[in-house]
Amino acid sequence: MLRQAVLIVGVLLLFGGAIAAGYDVAGLSLWLLIAGGAMTVGTLCERVLYKPLLPKNPGTGWVKTEERFIDPDTGKTVDVFYDPRSGERQYVSQAPDRQ
């Protein structure tokens, strides 16, 4: 819900910047285009940068690291797995009974 609201505000700022540019209001249009663009691109790219928690271990070839933390959103313990071939990391949410 919050993600959608931020995306809507970002797009509205982009439209406002385009309208202000049409009326040749340089300072305002530049500010609106930069702020709206940053909000829109940031909201759309956020899903790529922050990986979701997996419900189970990723499988063979993955190495469990020493890293472990409590996810602030779910309150669950999260283990970090690493793939030595690609360098990719996966975050696995542990069930309360497996802590």
Tell me the per-residue pLDDT of 24-46, one tens digit each, with 9 for 90 and over: 988 999 999 999 999 999 988 87
What are the phi and psi torsion angles at 2 (to 5°)?
A: -65, -40
Supply the range of the domain harboring residue 89. Answer: 63-98
The model scores a pTM over 0.85: no
- Residue 6: pLDDT over 50: yes
Instruction: Please report whether residue 39 resides in a domain.
Output: yes
Percent of all residues in the chain with a pLDDT value above 90, rounded to a whole number: 49
**For residues 37-57, average pLDDT:** 82
Report whether 48 contacts 56 (CB < 8 A).
Answer: no
Instruction: Please report whether residue 77 resides in a domain.
Output: yes
Give yes or no: residues 36 and 8 share one domain.
Answer: yes
Q: Residue 65: helix, strand or coil by DSSP?
A: strand
